[in-house]
Amino acid sequence: MSKTITDPNETLKVLSEGDMSVLDTLMRMTEVAMEESKLDPEDFMLVRIAALAALDAAPASWLLNLKVSGEAGLTPERILGTLIAISPLVGTARIVSAAGSIVQALGREKTLAEGTGNGPGI
């Protein structure tokens, strides 16, 4: 990790805020999983998007995965299409929750990019 935090409470706090420097280990795990899956980066991220929605993931999880999805070339239309495709399986409540978490994640990212956030930045 690029940032050493020894207090578990502080680690949990920065994780929940989407502090990317604390998530280096998770990023490395994701890279290994992508290589091992043999999926192309777009398909890999679409699978993750579907899993995040199914699990009702927190906005911080969405923040990390949306950032990687953008780097993989995924468009918002493909992400929305994936959510629509899984809605009969996971239910509309999960899709609405996912949409809310995505909006919160994007808002958090914007706040951090503008330097107005109170928490750690990306």
Residue 37 scores a pLDDT above 90: yes
Distance CA 53, CA 59 (A): 11
Instruction: With residue 41 as reference, give the H or E element that holds it.
Output: helix 41-55
Tell me the two tokens of residue 9.
Answer: 């409470």
Burial class (CB in 10 A: 0-12, 13-18, 19+), 65: buried
Domain extents for the chain?
A: 40-114
In degrees to the nearest 10, what's the CA dihedral of 114, 118, 119, 120? 50
Share of the chain above pLDDT 90, in %: 50
- 100 vs 9, higher pLDDT: 100
Instruction: Give 54-90 pLDDT, tens digit per residue.
Output: 999 999 889 889 988 998 999 999 999 999 999 999 9
- What amino acid occupies position 89? L
- pLDDT band for 122, please (50, 70, 90 cuts): very low
pLDDT at 19: 67
